[in-house]
């Protein structure tokens, strides 16, 4: 299974970053049409909504935009929820790999959910953390 990090969703809707937006949208399209399932970790869905709400507060987007983005990018995909078992896994991952709290929580949720690939720009590109390989779509060769 594949998963995406919050930054992929944010770039997909961020008109101030046209190059990254194009890459993120292309990746989401490829993943959504792949035979391998694409899922959204609960943390990612919540962080995406937080970003959209900040943009609303600064009048960058409207409430309708927020609702539209959620409908377009979150609603069609399965959202997986971590269990309490993720907490000690996150602590151990954070220590072993010197990860931030939220990064270790995301990886723990991915491990618990059986996700093999996480797309994110927040980790070392190509690094494998236990059973999860992280790929940075903004550092990958262009796919034709």
| Tens digit of each residue's pLDDT (9 = 90 or more) over 15-34 | 899 999 999 999 999 999 99
Residue 41: the pLDDT is 96
Cα pseudo-dihedral 66, 47, 74, 105, rounded to 10: 180
Residue 22, phi-psi category: left (phi > 0), alpha (psi -120 to 50), beta (remainder): alpha
Beta bridge partners of 84: none
| Tens digit of each residue's pLDDT (9 = 90 or more) over 58-84 | 999 999 999 999 999 999 999 999 999
Residue 144 pLDDT grade (very low, low, confident, very high; cuts 50, 70, 90): very low
Domains of the chain by range and CATH?
2-139 (3.40.50.1010)
* Contacting residues for 86 by C-beta, under 8 A, at least 6 apart: 105, 108, 109, 111, 112
Question: Which H/E stretch holds residue 49?
Answer: helix 42-57
């Amino acid at each position: 299974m594949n998963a995406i990090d919050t930054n992929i969703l944010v770039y997909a809707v961020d008109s101030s970053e046209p190059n990254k937006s194009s890459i993120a949208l292309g990746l989401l399209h490829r993943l959504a049409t792949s035979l391998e399932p694409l899922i959204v970790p609960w943390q990612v869905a919540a962080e995406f909504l937080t970003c959209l709400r900040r943009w609303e507060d600064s009048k960058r987007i409207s409430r309708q935009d927020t609702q539209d983005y959620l409908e377009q990018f979150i609603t069609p995909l399965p959202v997986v929820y971590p269990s309490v078992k993720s907490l000690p896994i996150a602590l151990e991952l954070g220590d072993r790999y010197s990860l931030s709290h939220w990064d270790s929580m995301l990886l723990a949720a991915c491990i618990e959910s059986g996700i093999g690939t996480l797309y994110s720009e927040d980790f070392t590109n190509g690094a494998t953390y236990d059973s999860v390989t992280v790929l940075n779509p903004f550092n990958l060769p262009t796919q034709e």
